[in-house]
Structure 1
Amino acid sequence: MNKLHLHPWLAAGTLALASCAGTKLAPVATTPTAAVAATPADPAGVGLDMADLDRTVNPCDDFFQFSGGNWLKSNPVPSYASSWGPRNLLGNRTQETLRRILEDAAANRTAAPGSNAQKVGDFYAAAMDTVAIEKAGIGPLKPELDRLAAVRDKAALRAAMVHLQELGTGIFFRGGVEVDEKKTTEYAVQLNQGGLTLPDRDFYFKNDARTEKVKTAYRTYMTEVFGLLGDAPAVARRNAATVERLETRLARASRTRVELRDPQSNYNKMTVAAAQKRYPALDPKKLLADMQLSKAQEIILGQPAFFDEVNAVLKTEPLADLKTYMRWHLVRSFASALPSAYADAAFRYGQAQTGAKQQAARWKRMQTATDQTLGEAFGQLYVDQAFPPAAKAKALEMVANIKVSMAEHIQNNTWMSAPTKAEALKKLNALRVKIGYPDVWKDYSALSIGRESYLKNVLAARLWNNKRETAKFGGPIDRNEWGMTPPTINAYYNPPLNEIVFPAGYLQPPFFDPKADDAINYGAIGGVMGHEITHGFDDQGRQYDSEGNLRDWWKPADAAEFTKRANVVGQQYDAFSPLDSVHVNGKLTMGENLADFAGLTVVYGALQKQLQQRYGNGPRPKYDGFTPEQRYFLSWAQLRRTNIRPEALRQQILTDPHSPGQYRTIGPLMNMPQFQAAFGCKEGDKMIRSTTDRAVIW
């Protein structure tokens, strides 16, 4: 439950022809700025796809379309996907490497028992054995269903509830052991809201046509699953209605996604005795004992009012209805490991949210499952084949350069006082950087994996992982732990540990290419590095100090000035509208937008330093007719060229803290004088905000 700032590029999709202000732009048939006209003397570069540019569009009018318009036209979303962009293409290439590793491991029947190769190979082999899965049916899950069916009173129900938490089913709430955000030298028991099936609490209350389509699919999905479990049609429909009624109660008490962005209001520590008095039906004391956490004297509740409702639900709802809700979540959470009828039902429900036309190939889904379940065992095999040491060294050099640029931006800041600057620099200097893969790999020796049953492997892995996480309580903070696996094409900032993490999967073309010039790498992976570093100073991250503690280290006047400047960014993004009647939520996306703004500015400064070191005051080479500065912005933009289905785009705007790709492209650039100078844009051009409307953070 660490508040990791995750950055799934898949979520950065968008429609191709949305303008800066939310109205549709027709292609602008003007001659592009002279600075972007190639000459025969200019050599070809590495990293940019010239054929993908739409040169009928003026870059100063719509840089998203200029930088990738032809690519958008030529790359529709495949039938199995909800969006499509460069990250997907890299994902496909990486998946082929991972597939070879998995198939080799599965074919190796002589791997040493207990080795990573044995566990990875057996897990994947069992996952791909659809004949055995269909033959086993619901059988491997029957002991869990029988355990729940045997519950006869509320006390036994609470014990079953803990067990289903251990299995990762997500019932009622999310709980576990995490770093205490106000005392980051210790672990704490934390409980947060959860227990819903629909993608967001607001879905339970909206009644527009798009939401009703998702809710209809949700009801159909539940009814189908209850039918597969043997319930008669009328009973299945009643059970689905029961689940929806209980989830609606939980949703009504849940905080919105914007409210969940406030770390202070979502940190509520109380003694176990006080929690026992407030939530007697939940019975926190017995709950912790059953979770093997009886030594805990305090717990941190994210949303106390939500747990008031959980307590009321457990006290007032009929036992049979609570068991129905729990049975649903038990089966739903294992749908992908059950026979195809269950997985197909889950996919049809997902279709209503994403618009995907068909499921991805089974090997791709099972490769993802292997990564999620045995990520570091699998990751070691991947790193051995696909991550050269030179890539790590270059990435560390880039991060160091960007940190220097960030320090200069803090020192030269005109609105921040000296004491706040000193604290900011202290935090920046304390930032930990993790590149490629963990220094200490996760130990899977206590987890038994075989080829007999895919579902049994998943059950065993979830129980093992829960036990491993629970065992952290009372021990030292594990600062070697990673929240992502090595093949992941993503990155994150972790506020309580004040660290940025870049898995090996991210450090390859087109995000990172040793053959490309500096402008390309700084605009691509460098932009992400700057983004992650400046997450430590966005509206959420700035509330954590150099040691990761949730503590206000800002002088009041500085905090007020930051908030005023951030609000300008929020207002700009509120105006963006990629779909009719659907606007970006500037408050939900605030942290990601601020990180884009600051990251691009800071990394641009780092690039200038790098160019100065390399070329001094001499001429800087053009490639493909573009200056380094232009290539920097094009590199940033081309990695955000994304086609996305309307269903997925709408859901992204409702639930994802990332803005759609076109606004991640144009939103920051519209405020950057560096972009204006690079492309010779004029005041009044659509990509240029006036000096009075411009947002400036760092």
Structure 2
Amino acid sequence: MSTERWILAAAILCSLGVTTTGAVDAPRSPSGIDLVGIDHSIKPGDDFDGYANENWRKTAVIPADRSSTGVFLHVFEKAEKRNAELIKTIAASKAPAGTSQRKIADYYAAFMDTASIEKHGLAPLQPQLGAIAAITTKAALATQLGAELRADVDPINATNFSTEHLFGLFVTQGLEDPSRSMPYLLQGGLGMPNRDYYLDTDKDMAGFRSQYQVYIATQLKNAGIADADEKAKAVFDLEIKIAKAQESLVDSEDVHKANNPWALTDFASKAPGLDWAIYFKAAGLDTQKQIVVWQPAAITAESALVASEPLDTWKAYLTFHTINHVASLLPKAYADASFEFYSHALQGTPKQSERWKRALGAVNRDLGDAVGQLYVKQYFPASSKIEVQQMVNNILAAFDSRVDELTWMTPSTKAKAKAKIATTHVGVGYPETWRNYADLTIKADDPVGNHLRAEQHEYQHQKAKLDAPVDRNEWWMTPQTVNAVNLPLQNALNFPAAILEAPFFDPKADPAANYGSIGAVIGHEISHSFDNTGAEFDANGKLANWWTPADQAHFKAATQKLVTQYSAYEALPGLHINGQQTLGENIADVSGLTVAYIAYHKSLRGKPAPVIDGLTGDQRFFLAFAQSWREKTRDAAMRAQVISDGHAPGNFRAQTVRNIDAWYDAFAPKPDEKLYLAPDDRVRIW
């Protein structure tokens, strides 16, 4: 569930929105529930997250190199350990040159060779830095900006995008013509997580702005650049102007505002300031007939800044971002400064992760499918794939039956919804076709070059889709990713192998625990096809209104009740959840939990669920759900999530149960308890 500032991805890639920032393992009973973690002094009706998780939270310790800890991260660390074992085996095997195994081993070795990194200094960046220094005209600036355009979508945090580049490219099916792929141009250009960090008057944000300007100067000084403080101020002031030009996350999630196909010849008049002909030629997009502009006002305003701001300011901006983009791959002074600002200051993480962990993350980022192919062969049995596929089928059937039962929806809209369910493509474990890295050069002594070449390789892969048939089976996550994703334009779901592990999924576990955890995840992703964004797309992935006016009005009224419900939650003193910003994910949580519950009961085939550990089947189902979302988070990271993410923090997601009638039967909350909602106030969407 999707936030990188790839705003387009925020609207059309809907992932679980988890972050791999720390882990804690808890003992599970035969029921699949952590009984020790339950705090019986808290009434379920006052705080179901607290009831399910507070005893765990009291003793949970956030690792020094993490910004949070929780169940998702227990599963992540299992995958991380497996990846480390794979790479150790690959390195020992001395695989032949040119093979994927050799590329993985060489990439990892280059990242770990700190002595060579210190020796080379900024030398790996000299071609880019030299090109920037040689800019003497705005035409040359346009060439440089175009050459730096990249495509880089991260569905784990899909509301974020590549901030080091003024604009970003996304390639996927056309909104109105799903039969062919289209290039989408997105706003960009910020070094902090999003525009709010530049514009919010909150004292914490003002502090971040001061630290960021110091950080810019630090990296310029590390590079030996003269007048670093003055240039840092100029860069920061430029980014303030870029932030003011950008559209908000909420506006960017509205696909109707984003459907703006411009002919290449339109850019000069609609967004004057940047020499677009030069820009698109340098970006390799000059042969395209149209480009969809996702945030037209932002693209126009940012283009104007290219003309209005001094050339020296742009050169300082490009120099800083060229360094910042690969700071973790540069000598220790650069990497430490980057950690101190982005992880310590912005996320509250006290200690940098061990280098081998960072190396694994880098390998998985740039050679994800190569690692994933080995991962599933070693760690994902066919039996797990079959069982999860059956669960997916059961939950899709439950959603279908739920549509039949909706009293507010007209037959014509129901028929369209059921057609969409029937054509949903589900990928479990791994993709049907693997990425090919044969033409990607990886060297054992060039970590910066390896990453930059991998980015260029990804960019060329994305551009190639513009001239090829649409692949509706394309995956947007690697198998070793602990997450899941819905792809509304493809009408498809991906459930990577790494999340299909205990406690989310355990073939030996009681069905209540499996349906309450991985079942709710599956239901969540299915429901994204029918959230406030997914419901805008038909069974073919086309942006089309398939609702009657009355049905659409009912749907929107119900979703606004959910906006109000979540906007009342206070994450930190004075900092409330943005119910509109998190709406799509909250719809998916409510609807996903609803259909997972229905599917769980259908799996019982009419038999009563056994009582295990003193818990009924329904109690185990809802506890498994709440314990899946348990987390303990540093305040800085919590603030960053609330401001920048389309997902509510886990403790609020666990409270989703208050909208489910069966939870009231299972735990008997009283009307005077905090979570209690009268039947008419419970949000029922699907």
TM-score by length of 1: 0.92
* Alignment partners' CA distance in 2, 1:289 and 1:80: 43
Secondary structure of the equivalent of 1:367?
helix
- The answer for the alignment partner of 1:79 in structure 2 is 64
Range 521-530 or range 619-628, more displaced: 619-628
| Stretch deviating more after TM superposition (318-327 or 269-278) | 269-278
Aligned mates of 1:302, 1:294 — CA distance in 2: 18
Residues 1:664 and 2:653 aligned together = yes
The 8 Å contact of residues 12 and 660 in structure 1, kept in 2 or not, is answered as no
Q: Which residue, out of 458, 472, 477, partners 2:470? A: 477
- 1:348-363 paired onto structure 2 within 5 Å: 348-350=340-342, 351-363=344-356
CA contact (8 A) 1:12 1:642 kept: no
Post-superposition CA distance 1:473-523 (Å, at most 9, x none):
121112232111110000010111111101111111111100101111100
What's 1:29 paired with?
Answer: none
DSSP-derived class of the 2:292 partner = strand
On the 8 A contact 1:12/1:640 being kept in 2, the answer is: no
How far apart are 1:44 and its partner, in Å? 5.3
Deviates more, 1:62-71 or 1:507-516: 62-71
User: 2:154 — aligned with what?
Assistant: none
Greater relative CO, 1 or 2 (CA 8 Å, sep 6+): 1
The Cα shift of 1:133 comes to 0.8
Matching residue of 1:284: 276
Q: After alignment, is 143-152 or 560-569 more displaced? A: 143-152
1:120-139 map, 5 Å: 120-139=104-123
Which structure 1 residue ranges, 5 or more long, are not aligned? 14-42
Partner residue, 1:303: 295
Residue in 2 that maps onto 1:275: 267
Query: Separation in 1 of the partners of 2:61 and 2:553?
Result: 45
Residue 219 (structure 2) pairs with residue 231 (structure 1) = no
**3-state SS in 2 of match to 1:51:** coil
Deviates more, 1:464-473 or 1:564-573: 464-473
Aligned CA distance change for structure 1 residues 395 and 625 (closer, same or farther; 3 Å): same
Matched, 1:48 2:33: yes
Q: Quick one: percent identity of the two aligned structures?
A: 37
Quote the offset at 1:58 in angstroms. Answer: 2.3
For residues 516-575 of structure 1, the C-alpha deviation after alignment (integer angstroms, 9 at most, x for no partner) is 011111001100000000011111110011111111111111111101010001101111
Native 8 Å contact 2:20 2:73 kept in 1 = no
Distance 1:511 1:259 in 2: 34
Assess if the C-alpha contact under 8 Å between 2:31 and 2:613 holds in 1: no
Give the Cα–Cα distance (whole angstroms) in 2 for the partners of residues 102 and 220 of structure 1. Answer: 38
Local SS of the residue matching 1:10: coil
Q: What letter is aligned with 1:302?
A: W
Give the structure 2 partner of residue 208 of structure 1. Answer: 202
When normalised by structure 2's length, the TM-score is 0.94
2:671 to 683, 687, 692: 683
Q: Distance in 2 between matches of 1:61 and 1:319?
A: 59
Shift of 1:461: 1.2
Further displaced range: 487-496 or 278-287: 278-287
Q: Compared with structure 1, are the counterparts of its residues 523 and 502 closer, same or farther at alpha carbon in structure 2 (3 Å cutoff)?
A: same
Alpha-carbon distance in structure 1 between the residues aligned to 2:268 and 2:290? 11
What is the aligned counterpart of 2:17 among 8, 12, 32?
8
> Residue 271 of structure 2 contacts residue 301 of structure 2 at CA under 8 Å; is this kept in 1?
no
CA distance in 1, matches of 2:636, 2:372: 33
2:150–2:169 CA contact under 8 A, matched in 1: no
User: Distance in 1 between the 2:239 and 2:359 partners?
Assistant: 30
CA distance in 2, matches of 1:280, 1:689: 53
Name which of structure 1's ranges 592-601 and 1-10 shifts more when overlaid on structure 2: 1-10
2:57 is equivalent to residue 68 of structure 1? no
- Indicate conservation of the 8 Å contact 2:108/2:363, yes or no: yes
Counting only pairs closer than 5 Å after superposition, residues 249-264 of structure 1 correspond to structure 2 as 249-264=241-256
Secondary structure at the aligned position of 2:262 is classed as: strand
* Helix, strand or coil at the partner of 2:266: helix
Report the more deviating stretch, 127-136 or 305-314. 305-314
Does the alignment pair 1:441 with 2:440? no
Query: Which residue does the alignment assign to 2:547?
Result: 554
Could you tell me which residue of structure 2 aligns to residue 620 of structure 1? Answer: 609
Q: Secondary structure at the match of 2:403?
A: helix
Q: CA deviation at 1:207?
A: 2.8
Pick aligned residue for 1:365 from 358, 364, 370: 358
Asked whether the 8 Å contact 2:425–2:473 carries over to 1, the reply is: no
Give the superposed CA RMSD. Answer: 1.8
Q: How far apart in 2 are the matches of 1:169 and 1:527?
A: 33
Of residues 338, 344, 351, the one that matches 2:336 is 344
Q: Give the letter for the 2:49 counterpart.
A: F
What one-letter code is carried by the residue in structure 1 that aligns with 2:244? R
Q: Which deviations, in whole Å up to 9, do the C-alpha atoms of 1:632-652 show, x marking residues without a partner?
A: 001001111110011111111
Cα pair distance change 1:369/1:464, threshold 3 Å: same
Q: How many Å separate the matches in 2 of 1:538 and 1:321?
A: 43
Equivalent residue for 1:312?
A: 304
Q: Look up the match of 1:241.
A: 233
